[in-house]
């Protein structure tokens, strides 16, 4: 049996107008509370920067010629990208469930792919806004030009896409905001803090260094950092490959859940 997500869309082609409308709705949703969705994450990242800069600037050497503050800024930017991309899709879908207006989305002439594109696209826009603002604020601490801008942009889009899709999955599974908090507390925060935001994994004991290489968030942060310095703990091609594979796996799961209507069927 087909879910309401696909039942009205099976006999037609891609609906660009409907996808664009849903995308605009999601963008306007986070822009309407821009202080909470864009500015608040920047303030949080700046507080991290101030504390760790003060404590570790003269005590930690990472890459030759790269100070700790410069090393830290890309990691904080990517951590903000990860958290905000996840929050955008997960909170939107869960809020629609709780308020009871998800039915209007399910019976709209939109397929699973179109819903997927709109939600993920809006989350990437939010994550990009946070990244640009935080990068601009970082220049107040230290000038940080991009050595490989294409690599940085690719990692930004891929990483934001991964967490947007993961947020979509979490929003489908969650029945209330407490369930989203579990995803944040047991997945997003631990994997973010153990991914090399504040340190190079080469400074870890061998066991933890090897364990970090199984954390997809490490490749997001490390690949993004390569865009700034031209050096990283892992080859950039490897990082891009891992993050792309992670995105494809999550996308397949999310699209399957949208098509079957599991936990979102009216």
Q: Rounded to two decimals, what is the model's pTM?
A: 0.89
What is the per-residue DSSP string for 57-71?
Answer: TTT---STT--HHHH
Distance CA 254, CA 216 (A): 18
Compute CA 86 distance to the chain's CA centroid, rounded to the nearest angstrom.
Answer: 5
Residue-wise pLDDT tens for the chain (266 aa)? Answer: 445 455 444 445 788 899 999 999 999 999 999 988 888 988 998 898 888 877 777 666 677 778 888 889 999 999 999 999 999 999 999 888 888 888 888 788 889 999 999 999 999 999 999 999 999 998 888 888 899 999 999 999 999 999 999 999 999 998 888 888 889 888 998 898 888 888 888 888 888 888 888 999 999 999 999 999 998 889 999 999 999 999 999 999 999 999 887 777 64
User: What phi, psi does 168 have (nearest 5°)?
Assistant: -65, -45
For residue 65, is it left (φ>0), alpha (ψ between -120 and 50) or beta?
left
């Amino acid at each position: 049996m087909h879910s309401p997500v696909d039942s009205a869309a099976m006999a037609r082609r891609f609906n660009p107008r409907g996808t664009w409308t849903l995308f605009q709705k999601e963008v306007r949703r986070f822009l309407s509370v821009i202080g909470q969705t864009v500015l608040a994450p920047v303030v949080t990242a700046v507080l991290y920067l101030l504390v760790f800069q003060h404590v570790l600037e003269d005590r930690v050497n990472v890459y030759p010629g790269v100070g700790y503050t410069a090393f830290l800024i890309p990691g904080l930017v990517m951590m903000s990208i990860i958290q905000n991309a996840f929050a955008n899709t997960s909170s939107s879908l869960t809020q629609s469930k709780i308020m009871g207006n998800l039915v209007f989305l399910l019976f709209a002439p939109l397929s699973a792919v179109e819903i997927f594109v709109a939600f993920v696209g809006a989350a990437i826009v939010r994550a990009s806004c946070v990244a640009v603002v935080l990068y601009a604020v970082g220049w107040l601490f230290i000038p940080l030009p991009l050595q490989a801008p294409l690599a940085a942009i690719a990692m930004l889009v891929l990483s934001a896409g991964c967490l947007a899709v993961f947020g979509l999955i979490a929003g489908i599974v969650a029945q209330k905001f407490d369930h989203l908090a579990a995803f944040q507390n047991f997945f997003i925060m631990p994997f973010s803090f153990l991914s090399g935001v504040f340190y190079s994994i080469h400074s870890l004991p061998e066991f933890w260094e090897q364990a970090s290489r199984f954390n997809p968030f490490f490749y997001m942060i490390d690949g993004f950092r390569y865009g700034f310095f031209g050096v990283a703990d892992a080859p950039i091609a490897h990082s891009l490959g891992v993050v792309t594979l992670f995105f494809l796996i999550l996308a397949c799961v999310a699209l399957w859940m949208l098509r079957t209507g599991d936990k979102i069927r009216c």
